[in-house]
Amino acid sequence: MHTKKSTLLLCSTLLLGMTACSNGGGNDGGDGGNSAAGASPSASSSASQQTADSSAAASGEDPFGKYAETVMVSLGRQGVSGNNLPSGDTLESNQYLKYVEDRLNVKIKYDFSVEDLDAYNQKVTLAIASNNIPDIMVVDEQQFQRMAKAGMLAELTDVYDKYASPLIKEYYGSYTGDRVLNTGRIGGKLYALPNTNIDGNFQLLWMRKDWLEHLNLALPKTVDDLKTIIQAFVQKDPDGNGQADTIGLLGDTSIATDGGFFTFDPIFNAYHSYPKSWFQDADGNVVYGSTTPETKQALGVLREMYAQGLIDKEFLTRKWEDNAGLVSSGRAGILFAPWFAGWAMSDAVKANPKADWVPLAVPLDDAGKRNIVPSVPSGSFLVVKKQAKNPEAAIKILNVEYEGIRLIDPAAQELYKGLGVGWLNYPLNLQLDFQDSLARDVPIYDKVVQDKDKTGLPARILPRVESVLKNQENPKQDMAAYADSLAFYTAAAVTGAKELNKVEPAYYGKTETMLKRGANLDKLENETFLKIITGTSPLDEFDSFVSTWKSIGGNEVAKEIKEALQAK
């Protein structure tokens, strides 16, 4: 959990801070604290929206239709820490909220807003237990399922079909097989609008290209290439300072985590190992990725790398901040991290302008593929109380909110202009975006870099375009522009690399046994893997782990998942 917590902290601080501060209205549209922000609708999608909206208005089912009489809705939500609102404005009273209320003639009343996640979950749990929930909330999967089973939620199938704007439908429709929207369905009926986790949060290999060039080494492709480079980085003075002060591959005790910094996911994936994910084989058997022979093989490779000094010997005791310090001080030149690590790399460049960090979609497997496990489709859910008088109001608020977040409406572009106020101050903290939001913007940057022409670009992308152009003209002179360009342009392009091979899990949710015994199962797995990697336990300890893991709950979880898959 440490890596995940640190990742979210970095995202919320840098993504909702730096990028928001660098744009005109501060409405970049992040991830609501789940992952990094993606791209926004293109000019063409905005045009199609206007056409469809006119048709909807004619039929009396306008996604943006203003109510003749004021509609009151109550809302419970997690608050915003460090929201950068000007003095006098609050989450419950600000320009974003007023923008939504005025366009729809709705009045939003906050039943509660709590910044701390644990405290917020306690509020939600209490509201559910007392059967006294607000009209609208954003909740986690367990809370959603609990309310649905208790018959507390409004059925939104028809409401969504009639009132969701074309843009909102385009977001959900961009995910193959309806994989996101299906998470909000029970028995084929829609009871919640899920958030969307975009593609691209897997780990890239980040490395100092200037070190490679100093040592006359080529960019790596395989795990063996990686080992050769790491050994050179440790032993051959890559920074040329005459001191043996550089270290190898950075690590984290989380070992493997979606969107994690310093974790070893790519090493596992190169050997067709996918820890912490559930799959179904050709015979219908449910298999946990952490228990496969391929995972044992990958652990053996990591064990050898650690023994040879290729993995930081002190990674067990280092905190996230320690690793970040090794990067910024120039002692570490190779690590695994997602695309948005581009901002973290800028600290190293600020300290040493000669540092040249590059992201790569490696190591590749024996077939030349970089295998990745897509992020869980969604993790939070917008739900509406069954007794709500205007259930469609939740959808319409979301429609208007995203016209503001994505700067489609010119009026929204003037809200808090230049103040860097984050999008989370809009009433509904539900992140929505295209599945390929990162990669789909790269051609825009390519064209602008080539033509130097910004004519006709959507307003929401202009701040990033300015960053890319500024860094192209004067590389590394403006750190904010360099960081934006490295993340949203250079690294984002790598998230669409042709070598990528998505390995889709069969199941993402939580079963009853997972909720009861998951902590113990995870602890056993993590402790065993760390002991094997660091040599405290022999590699064959893996076999004992698999047997024990299955006996204390793993087999029961597999049975529950199989039943859930059969029910679908």
pLDDT tens for each residue of 391-411: 999 999 999 999 999 999 999
pLDDT at 255 over 50: yes
Q: Which three-class secondary structure state does DSSP give residue 384?
A: strand
Closest CA to 512 of 568, 562, 561: 561
The pLDDT tens digits of the residues spanning 492-529 come to: 999 999 999 999 999 988 899 998 999 999 999 999 99
Q: How far apart are CA 405 and CA 30, in angstroms?
A: 9
Q: How far apart are CA 246 and CA 335, in angstroms?
A: 13
Q: What amino acid is encoded at 443 in this protein?
A: P
Beta strands in 47-92 (DSSP E): 71-78
- pLDDT band per the 50, 70, 90 thresholds, residue 535: very high
The pLDDT tens digits of the residues spanning 324-370 come to: 999 999 999 999 999 999 988 998 899 899 999 999 999 999 999 99
- Pick 22-198+379-425's CATH classification: 3.40.190.10, 3.10.20.30, 3.30.230.30, 3.30.450.40: 3.40.190.10
pLDDT at 549 over 60: yes
Return the higher-pLDDT residue of 138 and 34: 138
- How confident is the model at residue 433, as a pLDDT? 95
- pLDDT band per the 50, 70, 90 thresholds, residue 248: very high
Least confident of 41-45, 50-54, 309-313, 479-483: 41-45
Outline where 130-215 has alpha helix (H): 141-149, 157-163, 166-173, 209-214
Question: Mean pLDDT across the stretch 163-175?
Answer: 97
pLDDT at 372 over 60: yes
- pLDDT band per the 50, 70, 90 thresholds, residue 473: very high
Question: Mean pLDDT across the stretch 205-227?
Answer: 97
Q: Which three-class secondary structure state does DSSP give residue 412?
A: helix
pLDDT at 25 over 80: no
The pLDDT tens digits of the residues spanning 291-311 come to: 999 999 999 999 999 999 999
The distance from CA 259 to its chain's CA centroid, rounded to whole angstroms, is 7
Give the residue extent of every domain in the chain. 22-198+379-425, 204-374+503-567, 437-498
Q: What percent of the chain has pLDDT over 70?
A: 89
Structure tokens at 458: 């959507």
- pLDDT band per the 50, 70, 90 thresholds, residue 480: very high
- pLDDT band per the 50, 70, 90 thresholds, residue 466: very high
- pLDDT band per the 50, 70, 90 thresholds, residue 282: confident
pLDDT at 47 over 90: no
- pLDDT band per the 50, 70, 90 thresholds, residue 462: very high
Question: Mean pLDDT across the stretch 165-174?
Answer: 97
**CA-CA distances (angstroms) from residue 553 to 287, 510, 546?**
14, 13, 11
- How confident is the model at residue 244, as a pLDDT? 94
Return the higher-pLDDT residue of 50 and 346: 346
Question: Mean pLDDT across the stretch 133-152?
Answer: 95
Structure tokens at 292: 């496969």
**204-374+503-567: same fold as 22-198+379-425?**
yes
**CA-CA distances (angstroms) from residue 99 to 21, 233, 316, 340?**
20, 54, 49, 30
- How confident is the model at residue 566, as a pLDDT? 86
C-alpha count within 13 angstroms, C-beta hemisphere, residue 284: 6
Global pTM?
0.85
Mean residue pLDDT of the chain comes to 89
Q: Which three-class secondary structure state does DSSP give residue 459?
A: helix
Which CATH code is given to the segment(s) 204-374+503-567?
3.40.190.10
